[in-house]
Structure 1
């Protein structure tokens, strides 16, 4: 009985590792060639697995895409947790959070010129995964703002917006930082830091409260 249990655990771990391996390979291909131009055969070759192995875990490319997005979301969540623990003033922690979430996602997909297509695919076939990904930033941003206000670092009311509206506007600003000629990853991070600086200034407490 013990042997069967250990075999089952090992098999489950192997399966999880193989799924992650395939999802990471798919991410590289989707970023490089887009969704339509990437085939299941391409994914199998990039992942270094047999086609039969690929279909053992996924019914088709849509399933691979959803797993890819979920896997990226998991990595981003880990980085967001690390960002919240970053020492320093509020503006730096906000910038670190934006880089961890929006910057990581941009870096993952910016190898090619397929951001528009991939976002459309996300909306069409991976709505739940996309919503979870976006909710990650909202959750961590709310925690960051609320904890900073509790420590007297910021005053949310100074922005003139409710916290949920403030975070939604922050999210739109991060998306807007991609507009125009597609920036490099480095340039996008600079833009995110600029956005963080502006929003931190908007919730800075009065000088009398800081003195």
Structure 2
């Protein structure tokens, strides 16, 4: 559905950001449905309800759209992680909720995970910076969760044989490993994340 601003190459910053997110959101749906290689700029424009020329007012090509998609997903995940950390509750439950908010939400966005291997390869090739920033969202909120839980006397970080940073990194590796092999359904992956949270929380519980 063409927009009244399509004929102009200049949009107010707020409108331009909203349009960028609109395109990125459409790309996320397409990449989940068809993968990266099978999704063309024409397809993204159609999914977003825009003329193809409008896409090129905001992006040079599909690689740029992909990076914007990952940035949008990161902002959504970050908002949910912030809610989790701000919500009181037992440490094991909050840790499980954080894993779901970050890894579970991202995995669910890509449907059945059919194209996850391809999309991960694309991330590692053209969106390394965005991928690292995405992973750091979890690390940052996990550290804050640890700080809160220790302050409240729920956990004892001195119980760890390694540093808190290694503990957080271990969860990142475990969450990634839980997707290996035949891609699990979003529900199965969520159950695996709950198991990871249980194991890692037990390592810190007095």
The TM-score, its normalising length taken from structure 1, stands at 0.90
> 1:184 matched to which residue of 2?
185
Segments of structure 2 that go 5 or more residues without pairing to the other structure are 1-10
1:196 CA displacement: 0.4
Task: Give CA-to-partner distance per residue, 1:13-64, whole Å, 9 cap, x none.
Answer: 2211111110000001111111111100000000000011010000000000
Q: Distance in 1 between matches of 2:178 and 2:88?
A: 25
Q: Distance in 2 between matches of 1:158 and 1:109?
A: 37
SS in 1 for 2:148: helix
> 1:147 matched to which residue of 2?
148
- The more displaced of 109-118 and 129-138 is 109-118
Q: Distance in 2 between matches of 1:61 and 1:175?
A: 26
> 1:108 matched to which residue of 2?
109
1:110 CA displacement: 2.9
Q: How many pairs are equivalent? A: 196
1:176 CA displacement: 1.2
Please state which structure has a larger fraction of its residues in helix: 1
Could you tell me whether the CA contact under 8 Å between 1:77 and 1:136 is conserved in 2? yes
SS in 2 for 1:149: helix
The TM-score, its normalising length taken from structure 2, stands at 0.92
Larger Rg: 1
1:111 CA displacement: 3.9
